[in-house]
Chain A
Amino acid sequence: MANEITITIDGKEFQTQEGEFILNAARANDIFIPAICYLTRCSPTLACRICLVEADGKQVYACNAKTKSGMNITTTTENIEKERRAIMEVYDVNHPLQCGVCDQSGECELQNYTLELGVDSQSYTIADVDRSSVDWGHIHYDPGLCIVCERCVTACKDMIGDNSLKTVPRGAGAIDGSFKESMPKDAYAMWNKLNKSVIGLTSGEEMLDCTSCGECAAVCPVGALVDTDYIYTSNAWEHKQVPATCGHCSAGCQISYDTKHTSIDNPEEKIYRVSNEWNYVSLCGAGRYGYDYQNSDVTKDETAFAAALDAFKKADTINFTSTITNEEALILQRLKDKFGYRLVNKDAQDFKTFLRDYSVVSRSSIYGSDLEKVHNTDFVVSVGTALKSDNPNARYAFNNAVQMKGAGLYFHPVADPVVDGMSKNVVSINHAPLQEEAVLYLILDLFANKDLLPKKVVDYLAGFHSEKTVTVTETIKEKVVTQVTKKVVNKETGEEEEVTSDVTKMVPKKVSKEVEVDENRLLEIVGAPAKFEETLLKLLKKKETFSLIVGPDLYTHPSSQNIARLVALIEKYSAFELVMIPTLTNTLGVGLICDLDDEAGEYAVGYNTQGDFVLSGLGDGDLDMPAINQQEGTLTSINKRVNPTNVAVGYGGYVLNDIANALGLKAEYTIDYTEQLPTSRGFKTRKFDDLPNHYTNAGEEVRGYLLGKMPVRMKKDEHVTPIDEDQALDGTLVYLANPVRQFTPFTNKAHQLIAEGGLYMSESALSASELEAGDVVSVKTEAGEVSVKVISDNKIDGEIAYLPTFDANINSEALFGGYRFATASIQKV
């Protein structure tokens, strides 16, 4: 990778990576350079220009200029000081004096830099225009406070991938001409740009219709973008910040629960908002707004507790979900060791099996990559996951990789306009359900090193290729050739100007040759768009690092064993690095800690799920349990990290550990189990209280610890089976997934997220059918039937509708026989 180089900042020498931005290099070494518009991990916008520094005698923008070996950087000179002060004065022009009520006050970068640069008087002036605040739904925008740093736009585009915000004309008059002479140059240029724009919605609508992550409000340096729910409820400095790990999905984002007493009359802690280190971690709407899912007003119900003990004595099975901590999982495992309970947890079991099958080929106990790496790769492929709802952070990583001059392929049966809208450099392929094996074979075919790949597989792949093809394709072949040569040239010059002309010579030759001779039937099977191969060639230009994201569709696939092996082959014999998305919050942790059973016995205790006696953090069971925001413990994330989380709000009832103690285990606190997590499965003997949970200035994640890799004892077996091309699901299909911002009944408890689930249909599917949103339909599959409302969802496209799992009133799982797709009949009732 990049080379280690030495640079000098203000006379001191530092090591950094070649090509790192000066700003990041300085920050990593605790050197302060003022910067407003730059967001780490996103592309520099050069909106604020305050990050001016002098590098080798030349003024450059620190957020945009890359370090070179031996570079000599001065963070401030007389001229830079002048520019910076002028820039801050410009930001203060017509800025309302309303810090007193502003929600950003106390953590406002405008306040901070105004003070830091000692702006105590104003030299510039311009007539203001009407900039009244607008309500965008869950976000509130006050253009009067906006300093048009475009951080919100950048975050939404480069990180989130929604592209919902853009700059729109402000309609202000021209800046007084005399300032051009009297003002420092950069400040004037910056003002000129600032004065022309405010922020608006890309859609042109009144209300935001995005995936509602709230990241734009989080990154806004001033009080211009605020979460509507939070406005004027508290001052930032009143909050106690509880460092935690989000408990909703397997991304395990680092969050801070910002709490304060509820009101004058009620001293109980209440969560007012969730904040994050937005430079290093981006939250989704569930993490951001789904914070108050605690099981509140619980007291120690001794009768229920006694009943629980009886139930445990009677039970032979414990049903549970993966929305529990590692420690709780260990308690369950200990109970199993002691009393021989069967532990039944479908999602963890599937994932565990998949991982084991994967290990047989890969010789590694766990996938090799993580989302951090995905962020930095050039080419990302996602297979078998509804990316934006299964794991929003995987989606952000995918998008971020694509936006930062990368490209990606998205394989999924359900078309996703959000993914399609990310960039031209993403190709979505909506293959038929059950054809995931074909997708993986295609990836092997396209990317694997055929010299190393097992001979059998190579031969099998070769079988899909033919020189001579059917007549229909012949015509296409010709067309492709001519078009490609033209288009490539066009694009080269149009899109990437810095590319030199020698590339243009090389490419058309290669393409025309290959296309002429070869036809790949796998492309047809997966339903790749026309001219896919040429597009791919373009996308692959200058790509060096590759990531593969695979998701839950594969774990429940009827031939998941074969799929796991194919995935492992890809990781092993191609440049792809692999990440698997654990199905639920702690599916990975539970899978590693618990020895799971397939079948339930006669009498089951359910933990957050069905059973003859139910323990529930949702407050609807026979005995109350704390929700994750009321617990301390660790969660194992997709990044193979064991992350600590802390208590944000109080809980007055019994916890699982109390039951375990009453049954004969011994631990004062649940977190006493943290250091006992099984080292044989990759965990470490570390006390809960010793686990850190923060990011460094260099953006390094210092949270919990990484799982170790464990040796694989199973026999190596690289055998894979061929695809069954004929297997298909006929008729109307339904998919098991959640809308964005929903994962489990826990998210559905948060006051900002509460919703009624239903059958989510794309707008096109809805208009093609006789149904209308709001109709009650009965959805019937081989396995079962539910009756639900039809909901129109513009975040999906195509024919396939989906049923959610977050609504406890809809037992969607009962309709699916394991695999996430099913044939269904939908009848209006």
Chain B
Amino acid sequence: MDTAYLIETVIKIVILLLVFSALAGFGTYFERKVLAFMQRRLGPMHVGPYSLLQIAADGVKLFTKEDIVPQNVVGPIFKIAPVITAATAFMAAAAIPFMPSFTIFGYEVHPIISDINVGILYILGVMAIGLYGPLLGGMASANKWSLISAARAASVFISYEVVSGLSLLAPIMMVGSLSLIDFNNYQAAGVGSWMIWSQPVAFVLFVIAAFAETGRTPFHLIANDHEIIDGFGTEYSGMRWGLFFIGEYANMFFISFVIALIFLGGFGDGSVGGALALLGKVSFIFFFFLWTRAAWPDVRPDQLMWLCWKVLMPIAVVNIVITGIVMMF
């Protein structure tokens, strides 16, 4: 392994971490504002002009808050749980090509940390591990709400994970590769070649699963504030809670990238326009996450399970079969 590659990778990792941690902050600000506007409110207004410095304030607050480890929690597990959530989110990002490759000072940069050939599998797998955060944190918290939340996490997890896997199977069959770069290249021919047209059912299923995976409304079940306080996060404070938080928002961004790359043509031909288009698509998907939160109600955990197992999974299977049949002929 040559040194340049090593340095490049380290730099990429650092940039990735910094950018997406910061984005988590901006994400909240953005979310609060969007939700406020949709509900005829102003949202945060006081920290700086239009409360732009809210993120800084929140950051300072999170960093300086007293770190409380309650009395009856299982200490090590309690402490490691937020790290799992944050770490897995960023680990998953390793296989995501955020941009087309470009040349800087004559050095070609691939904005992907590692283009492993089982990219999608890796991303899905690592993201799934992220589930251990809420699960362990909830169980270790010695709090009834947290425990309910952990139970919900487990039950919801076994439901949506089936759908996300199966729904992606059809596109994978069509592309014939697990690398996201290959996916991108498969759709590089333009809007018409986007996977969403050839696999609309898979797209819908995956988006639904993505909502469940990131725990966004209408599947905001694991930490549903009006039912179980903050769920697994109830007993956490300060930066420990902050890690959960960053993990969640980073997840949202990454899943937006994944959706854009798999179904919406990614960065297309790799031109600057394509790169901007990718950012636009990701932004829209992120916005969509917020938008639904303003408009839709939550379902119950049992409804989600029912939906996943009895409706979405059969549809996904049928979709695979049909895709297979179409590909045979």
Q: Do chains A and B touch in the complex (CB under 8 A)?
A: no
